[in-house]
Amino acid sequence: MAAFDRFVARVPAAPTGWYLRGLTHGRAARHDRAIADLTKAITLGMPGPDAYRLRATSHLALGDRSAACADGAVAAERGDADAARLVERHCR
């Protein structure tokens, strides 16, 4: 985590640093922090579905099904099969 913190401090406009920090927070069950970092990555233009899928997973872990379904749907539209299964399981 310290390396990601340093990277984000040095290059705050790079979405990858925020994504990797969000991923690390999510894996450590720090879902509020994961959501904040993944939101920053998305805002900065992180491509692909991964940030949306991971943010959906953190929203789901915190009990925010509506936000999880919204993010899961975006990730599924971008081709993420895991996100499509998340939506199917939790949002229908």
Q: pLDDT value at position 1?
A: 87
Neighbours of 5 (CB within 10 A): 12
Considering the entire predicted model, what is its pTM? 0.94
How does pLDDT run across 3-59, given as a tens digit for each residue? Answer: 999 999 999 999 999 999 999 999 999 999 999 999 999 999 999 999 999 999 999
Better-predicted residue by pLDDT, 92 or 48: 48
Contact 68, 90 (CB under 8 A): yes
- Residue-range domain boundaries for the chain: 2-90
- Among 1.25.40.10, 1.10.3720.10, 3.40.50.880, 1.10.150.120, what is the CATH number of 2-90? 1.25.40.10
- What is the chain's length? 92
With CA atoms as reference, report the closest residue to 79 among 38, 40, 50.
50
